[in-house]
Amino acid sequence: MINLSQYEAWFVTGSQHLYGPDTLNRVAENAQKIAAALDHSKAIPVGVAFKPVCTTPDAIYRLCQEANASERCIGLITWMHTFSPAKMWINGLKVLQKPMLHLHT
């Protein structure tokens, strides 16, 4: 039997710098709370790990590359803070080789 506790889904939040540091700090705090709640849920058999808020195409691309390289990461759970332009995600999603769940809120 596979020990699922060794695996994790990465909780990734998308936003933009235009909201400013105070708002982005609050976004990160809220994202950490969401990731922690999902991590403690008995309904999710793997861990859920918070990842820093992504605000640039390069950060998104690097995160997707890191997810691909991680043996523990089984996929991404994404949540967008208000409006995160889809074009920021194109290059990262082109290289992503793991499943992605996009939460619409």
Residue whose C-alpha is closest to residue 9's, from 35, 30, 31: 35
* Measured distance CA(89)–CA(9) in Å, rounded: 18
Which letter does DSSP use for residue 71 in this model? Answer: S
Flag the least confident range among 25-34, 39-48, 64-73, 83-92: 83-92
Predicted confidence at residue 86, as pLDDT, reads 82
Q: Which domains does the chain carry? A: 4-103 (3.40.50.10940)
Compute the residue count for the chain: 105
**Element (DSSP H or E) covering residue 9:** strand 8-14
For residues 29 and 22, give the distance between their C-alpha atoms in angstroms, rounded to a whole number: 11
The mean predicted confidence, pLDDT, of the chain is 94
Which pLDDT value is given to residue 84? 62
- pLDDT tens-digit profile of 62-85? 999 999 999 999 999 999 987 667
CA pair distance 59, 43, nearest whole angstrom: 30
